[in-house]
Amino acid sequence: MSNATVVSPSIDIVRLVTVILAMDNSMLVALYIIGMIGAILNMITFVQRQIRTNSCSIYFLSTAIIDFWIMNVFLLLEILTRFNLSLSPLIYKTRIWCKFGNFLLSILPCLSSTYLTLASVDRFCASSLNSTLRKCSQLKVSRNVVRVVFILWVLFELHIPIGYDYVFNSITNNTACQVTVGSPTVYLVIDGFFFALYNGAVVPFFLCTFGLLICYNMKRSRGRVAAQQTTRSNRTTVDPIPSTNQVRLVPTRNNFHMLTMLLMQVTVTIFLNVPYMAIYLYGYFNQPPKDLYQYALYIIFTFIARWFYYMNYCKTFYVNTLTSRLFRKSLQQQFLMLVRRRTISSVL
């Protein structure tokens, strides 16, 4: 007979949770460092003259600023409370966090997703053969849209600082952040179901749709330019009158680089965002699995999806660097300029 010790499944679950939590601590620190470096370099690059003249850069810059705040509101505070448990009640069990912390947790991801979606709409307009749509892709328009969208999301999320408060709960005999104005069910639907549905389904749908429309516009543009070149080469020198039906659409180098960056951002965003929102919606409609091994898989996939979700706000700079030579060139120029300034200051 075997003398092997039979290990209880519950002990396996405890060990699994211990390992996952240790990995989670390391992942959060790594993601914070990578995300902060990327967000800062993104902001530095998108304010440069050769890039900021493009309307799409306004949306990318806005996304970089929001990602910077997400890194500090989401990740930094969680890292601090993980490594110093005494800070957790001082941060999360306060009236300020109940109202304004949850407000930021809700509005920042929605703003980031919306600005990326607007960037795809801007590139769709810029690549369109319709002159009216192309007029929508302007710096003035993008700046106004960024402001309006920010105001609309603030107004939409105002129910959180108004309706939530940190009060005593007679049922649990403890103080907690809960709804004090209106129906808790309505707040749960808005802050839970709508949040997951918007970021996990609505935004990916629009990103896919406009991404495909951009590719379609680019294909039509190439076909139109090729047809015009063929017609022009077959035209005799006796016929100097140009056709009035020609559409002149010559994409600039900046537009091409912005299109490339955007299409890659859309692809990676959908890949990283959907798993977490799927787990979020599953937890919204279902109870955690009762079977221990199914519960173990549920824990593993929850943490992996959560890491992917945070990667979504760390990836922008690195995707831009890998896909755009113009972005790399602008970044390199900034480093060279910084080195020159340091050299001149040291000499003086």
pLDDT bin (cut points 50, 70, 90) of residue 244 is very low
CB 301 within 8 A of CB 237: no
Do the domain assignments include residue 148?
yes
Q: Which two tokens stand for residue 292?
A: 């221990």
pLDDT of 114 above 90: yes
Do the domain assignments include residue 44?
yes
- 3-class state of residue 129 by DSSP: coil
Do the domain assignments include residue 18?
no
For residue 125, give the CATH number of its domain.
Answer: 1.20.1070.10
179 DSSP 8-state letter: E
Do the domain assignments include residue 40?
yes
Q: How many residues does the chain have?
A: 348
User: In the chain, what percentage of residues exceed pLDDT 70?
Assistant: 85
Do the domain assignments include residue 183?
yes
Q: Is the dihedral of CA 295, 297, 302, 307 positive or negative?
A: positive
pTM for the whole structure: 0.81
What is 220-279 written as a DSSP string? HHHHHHHHHHHHHHHS-TT--PPPTT-------HHHHHHHHHHHHHHHHHHHHHHHHHHH
In this structure, the strands spanning 164-169 and 174-179 are: antiparallel
Tens-digit pLDDT profile for residues 291-339: 777 888 888 888 898 899 899 899 888 988 888 787 788 878 777 777 7
Tens-digit pLDDT profile for residues 170-192: 776 788 888 888 888 888 888 88
Quick one: pLDDT at residue 158? Answer: 92
Q: What is the CA radius of gyration of the chain?
A: 25
Tens-digit pLDDT profile for residues 206-225: 988 888 888 888 887 765 55
Tens-digit pLDDT profile for residues 4-13: 454 456 676 7
pLDDT of 346 above 80: no
pLDDT of 238 above 60: no
Proportion of the chain in helix, strand, coil states, percent, rounded to 5: 80, 5, 20
Quick one: pLDDT at residue 256? Answer: 67
Task: Note down the domain range covering 142.
Answer: 30-229+251-340
Smallest Cα–Cα separation from 265: which of 182, 222, 219, 322?
A: 322
Tens-digit pLDDT profile for residues 139-150: 899 999 999 999
pLDDT bin (cut points 50, 70, 90) of residue 253 is low
Do the domain assignments include residue 160?
yes
Q: Which two tokens stand for residue 208?
A: 């896919």
Do the domain assignments include residue 9?
no
Do the domain assignments include residue 13?
no
Number of domains in the chain: 1
Smallest Cα–Cα separation from 316: which of 101, 41, 52, 81?
A: 41
Quick one: pLDDT at residue 10? Answer: 66
